[in-house]
Structures are given as structure tokens and as C-alpha cells.
Amino acid sequence: MKKLILSLALLATATFAFGQKKVVKEAEKGFKTGNLQTALTAIEGALTNPETSGDPATFLLKAQIQTKMFGSDSSNTKETLEIGNQALATFDKTIEMEGASKTTPVGKVLYGEEVVGMPDNLRPYGIITLKNVSFDKALERYNEDDMEMSYEFFNLAGEIDKTDSTIHYNAGFLANDLGRFEDAKRHFGYLLELPTYNKTNAYYFLIQILSTEEKNPEAAFATVTKARVEYPNDRVLAEYEIQLLLQLNKMDEAMAQIKDALAKDPNNPGLLLRSGYLKEQGGDLAGAMVDYKKSVEVDPMFFEGNYYTGALMLEQSRAILAELNSLSDEEWDKKSQEMGKQADGFYRESIPFFTKALEIKPDNTDIMIILFQVHTRLKNAAEAESMNKKISAILGANWQEN
């Protein structure tokens, strides 16, 4: 009797196990024929049973079904993304159970490679398929100007492969553009870990985020210092370093770097501008003027060069007038005519530079106001009125009262 009971129990167990394997077969059939919701329901049932829930192949099949569902959803919405995220989570569970081996039967499918143009029935629908499908969805959303979802799909693809430079550059670029700076830093950070990748653009973005968006010049300077070790001849990094040294008030170091950079690139308008700025801050106004003027000789359309040249001329004229006003009445009578002419000379010299700056940025009302004041000082009535009309058209007729 005991043997009969035992035999019946074994038969029941075998029948139950066979039933669960049948459920898995149903899921496989649905996966292959495209009846994906039925397949998903079946595999979920298999995963709730101890006989099949401990098998990595069961989780692999679920991830494959989810990946196929992800690929078949062309709406590419947040709901689509959620299916992709679920597929990745299931792949991660499979890897946790199976290990990262690519040689086991499960591993061969899990990490199955794809070839461009591969027929759908031959695609492995492994984790590489999920990455490629997500990348394609990111491009589709980008072409439709949906930058938020484009980033999300790039990000999903990047979570699968930390070494794909194209994915992480695109994700970092979009994250930066969307103001998601922590995400941007994360993706650019992955790029810095790649040994053979040209990291200069990643460094540019990181430095700009740290210095401009996060207002952390110390961290930006640490990053540019690291970048300069790796790319000592990169001119953009050299300029960033100088700019950050100026922000950190490290004037001597900044000037040393500028001199070194100008020795290699003497006609760089940005470097000439910074050199002039440092000289101006140090009281060498003549040296600063030489550098400022040279920057616009090299590039006549260099806005900052034109502006700084004109501004230094105005500063010199104002210094003369301030000195004149501080004189005694007797000294003022002796020197006012000569010093007034000197001041007017600087005012007059500044006009071409501010005029050029306005040509470059024709809607800049700050420069219009400067030119109005200069022409008014020099009694150039027609020119002053012309500026007044331009300013009034933008700021209103009562702009001088504001």
C-alpha cells in the first residue's frame, strides 16, 4: 500500500512538472509566432512555480518576450520605455542567476550578436538586441524632435553597454541640452573611462557644466588639469585653463599659461583678449591696448575684442576727466583745454570699435547707449539722434528716464 501511495505521489509530481514545462513551451510558441501577450502571461505563470522559476532559461525567455514587445511598439512613448526597462531588469536577473558566461546555452542566446539586416526570425532577442532596438528608437525620437524621449532611449541603451561611445556621447549631449546636468556628467564620465576614445569633447562639456551651470570653478579647474595631462596640445583646453585661472584669481599662473599658449598660437584672438585683460588688471594699459587691438586685427568680427578695445579707450578718457576735475581752479584753467582734447581723442578713437561691435550684434542696446553717449559728448548731433531712434525703437521713447 505504501508503495502504491508513493508511486501515485511520484506520478503526480512528474505530471505537474510536465505541465509547467508545457506552459514554458506555450510561451516559446507565442514568442516565435508573435502572440506576445499570451506568451508573457504563460511565462509569468511558469515563474511562479518552483519547478521552473529557478531556471535561468525561464527568465531569459521572459526577457526575450519583453524585448520583442518593446521592439514591436512603435509609439515610442514612456510606456514603451517602461517595457524596455522591464526587459533589462529581467536580463539582469538572468545574468545574476546564470553568471556572465557567454559559452553556456543560456549565455549564447543572452549575449547573441546581431548582424545588420538580419531577418527577424534569426535575431537572438538577447540583451544586444535590446540595446540596438533602444538605439533605433532614440534616433527615431530625435528625428521627430522629441529630445526627452530620445535621451531616455539612449540612456537605456547606455545602461546595457557602458563602453559604446556613440551612445554615451549622444546621451550626454542631449542631457546637457535638456538641462539634466547630473545625467550629462554621468554619460561623459563613462567616456572618460574608455582607453582609446578621443575624450576632448567630453572634457569640454564637463568643464562647461562645472564652471557655468554648477558655478564650481575649482572642480572645473581640476577637470581641465586632468584633461591637459592627457591632451597637452589641445588649444581649447588651454583656453579653458586660462579662463579658470582668471576666475580663481590666479593671475600669475594665468599669465604664464597665456604666454606659453601665445608662443604656440600668436594670432589667437581669444588668447590676445585674455592677455590684454590681465595686463589691464595689472595696470599695464598700453600693453593691454596693444593686445586688444591685435585681437581685432586678427579677426575684425571678434565682438569681445572690439568691445574691450573701445571700453579701454573710454576708461582712459574718463581717467583723464576725473584727474582734471580733481585739480584746483588755477590748475584747471591751465590744463583743461589740453586734457579735454586728450579725453575727446579717446572718445573719438572708440567709435569705430563700438560701431563694429554693434554691426556684429545689431540688437545690443548697451552698445547703442554707449555710442549715443560718446556722440553726445563729441557734439555729433546727427549720429547721437540716429542712436536715440534705434534705442527708442527697442526700449521706448523714454528710455533715458529708466
Same fold, 14-160 and 162-265: yes
What integer pLDDT is reported at residue 11 of this predicted model? 34
Copy the grid coordinates of residue 115. 548582424
CA distance 128 to 109: 10
Question: Which residue ranges in the chain fall short of pLDDT 70?
Answer: 1-21, 23, 30
Hey, what CATH topology would domain 14-160 get? 1.25.40
Tens digits of per-residue pLDDT, 7-38? 433 333 333 334 446 767 777 776 887 778 88
Residue 21: the pLDDT is 65
CA–CA distances in Å: residue 258 to residues 63, 304, 339: 56, 17, 35
**Residue whose C-alpha is closest to residue 257's, from 224, 216, 304:** 224
Answer positive or negative: Cα dihedral of 168, 169, 175, 178: negative
| Cα 40 to Cα 28: distance, rounded to the nearest angstrom | 10
- CB count in 10 Å sphere of residue 388: 18
Cα–Cα distance between 118 and 122 in angstroms, integer?
Answer: 7
Domain residue spans of the chain: 14-160, 162-265, 363-402
For residue 156, what are the CA distances in angstroms to 60, 135, 136, 213, 303? Answer: 18, 8, 11, 25, 42
**Beta carbons within 10 angstroms of residue 324's beta carbon:** 17
Confidence (pLDDT) at 303: 93
Cβ–Cβ < 8 Å for 164, 197: no
162-265 folds as: 1.25.40
Would you list the DSSP string of 127-169? HHHHHHHHHHHHHHHHHTT-HHHHHHHHHHHHHH-TT-HHHHH
H or E, element range at 278: helix 269-281
| pLDDT tens-digit series, residues 359-402 | 999 999 999 999 999 999 999 999 999 999 999 999 998 898 87
CB-based contacts of 275, cutoff 8 Å, min separation 6: 255, 258, 259, 262, 291
Query: Do 38 and 30 contact (CB within 8 A), yes or no?
Result: yes
- What integer pLDDT is reported at residue 13 of this predicted model? 36
Can you tell me which residue has the cell 601665445? 262
User: pLDDT value at position 42?
Assistant: 82
CA 351/CA 290 separation, integer angstroms: 17
| Total-model pTM | 0.69
pLDDT tens for residues 90-115? Answer: 999 989 887 777 888 888 888 888 87
**How many whole angstroms separate alpha carbon 176 and alpha carbon 33?**
42
